[in-house]
Structure 1
């Protein structure tokens, strides 16, 4: 049986520097005014994204719609709960065919959980094998993504993790006001590369998490974030390495705790998937 699952949160990064222009016929005064405008604009963007970081970090969970597009392939959408307050966790519904579970699930959508370092897939009870009579299939995150990938998911569990990288880029722009999901928002866009992360004042652990995300994104990632009047992100989009991940926040906080299914109703295929993955990598 072949099982492949690629919808992993890579993390969201933003940074702040906005170039503003002034109008003056005096070159000296014009230059000084431009410098002041740049500093003022940068501080405003910094402040807005820092407030979004703090607010999102405090709330710890949200009802979301997440869409992952790889190359020119069909986007894979997931709807449900995403939690980062006590480690990475999610409880979503996704397309059965996209999850490559059509052989195990007759319904068009499949419930997928990620909790306590493992993925759980809702399936139809099987007639034999390790999934005989089981309603859930368990696979370690490391079996799917490798140890480094599992660490990256854990390190970047919080969608504010990227926002904490503010200040490492020099090209973030305020793109103005836009209406997203019926809310008035301000749209920011920026990108970040490895050198900026290495030269930052982050801790070693923060640098590792950021660089892992960058490596997964091909060395440079571009981020868009739409922030509403309550200092909360409404939509975030990350693009890089041929993959685009978009997450829309429908409601923050007050979500149900995400727990693993009963062990007695779960079949574990972690070992088989690890062997399959190692074989595909020539290990």
Structure 2
């Protein structure tokens, strides 16, 4: 099978992980100093975002509809379960054609897992090559985020999850309350934050590392995050703009989701090295 470096490949992998704008200790310290000097309105915003962060982290999982727009074609939709209670994992369905995986399956959607730092794609068994007779294609996160970025994403504390995005939002110094809105039929308060590179903390390697595929996709400078917080201090929608890429997550159900595990090893064909050799990793 000949792999191609396309925007869709960047999108289908990045869409699963670009929520990783967690704040590192240095950024948190700077933001805390800023918050100490803030007016009452800013303190009120930070308090609301702190409550939302704590609730998101506490529940540990959600049913999510995610859309990634790359500005190069049809947006890539991913619907399913995100889990971050014991490391970050997901189990979603993607549109096959939008993800440009139609050569690997006749199904209109592709089930995609992220478990223990690796992606798994549910494909049709191929007649030859590393995917011969295999039900799943595996690509390690290092082929997307680089070695350092992948180590960050595969951490045991739920790194890369919506909870970590909330932490980045909470610690950002530039945060606005945009008022009340209705999203997906739910009343919510709309907040917006701009995170500069120093706010990314340890996740800078994920976005800006020399060997990360997201380096070229996210562009330079700041990342804009918007969040709509609804009842019980829980997010209804999370939207992030990274250069030319926009990712929107709509939350439908919180907690009590299914466990996410990797497919049986004998059903998996590993294409990590082939992906790297094909030049999909920026270097």
Partner residue in 2 for 1:165:
168
1:251 to 235, 253, 278: 253
Contact 1:62 1:250 in 2 (8 A): yes
Contact 1:53 1:164 in 2 (8 A): yes
Partner residue in 2 for 1:179:
182
2:201 to 207, 211, 236: 207
Partner residue in 2 for 1:82:
82
Structure 2 unaligned segments of length 5 or more: list them: 210-214
Partner residue in 2 for 1:32:
none
Q: 1:132 to 1:170 in 2, by over 3 A?
A: closer
2: CA distance, partners of 1:42 / 1:62 = 28
Partner residue in 1 for 2:238:
236
Query: Residue 161 of structure 1 aligns to a residue in which SS?
Result: helix
Query: Residue 81 of structure 2 aligns to a residue in which SS?
Result: strand
Partner residue in 1 for 2:212:
none
Q: 1:111 to 1:191 in 2, by over 3 A?
A: same
- Name the stretch that deviates more: 164-173 or 265-274: 164-173
2: CA distance, partners of 1:74 / 1:97 = 9
- Is 1:191 the counterpart of 2:185 in the alignment? no
Residue 107 of structure 1, CA deviation: 1.1
Partner residue in 1 for 2:106:
106
Residue 240 of structure 1, CA deviation: 2.2
Residue 150 of structure 1, CA deviation: 1.9
- Is 1:219 the counterpart of 2:224 in the alignment? no
Partner residue in 2 for 1:132:
132
Q: 1:5 to 1:212 in 2, by over 3 A?
A: closer
Q: TM-score, normalised by structure 2?
A: 0.80
Q: TM-score, normalised by structure 1?
A: 0.80
Partner residue in 2 for 1:48:
48
| Pair member with larger Rg | 1
| CA offset digits 1:28-74 (Å, max 9, x no partner) | xxxxxxxx9x7221121111100000000011111001111113432
| CA offset digits 1:177-224 (Å, max 9, x no partner) | 1111111100001212135x3xxxxxxxx7222575477542201110
Q: 1:241 to 1:154 in 2, by over 3 A?
A: farther
Structure 1 unaligned segments of length 5 or more: list them: 18-35, 198-205
How many residue pairs align between the two structures? 253
Partner residue in 2 for 1:27:
none
Contact 2:116 2:154 in 1 (8 A): no
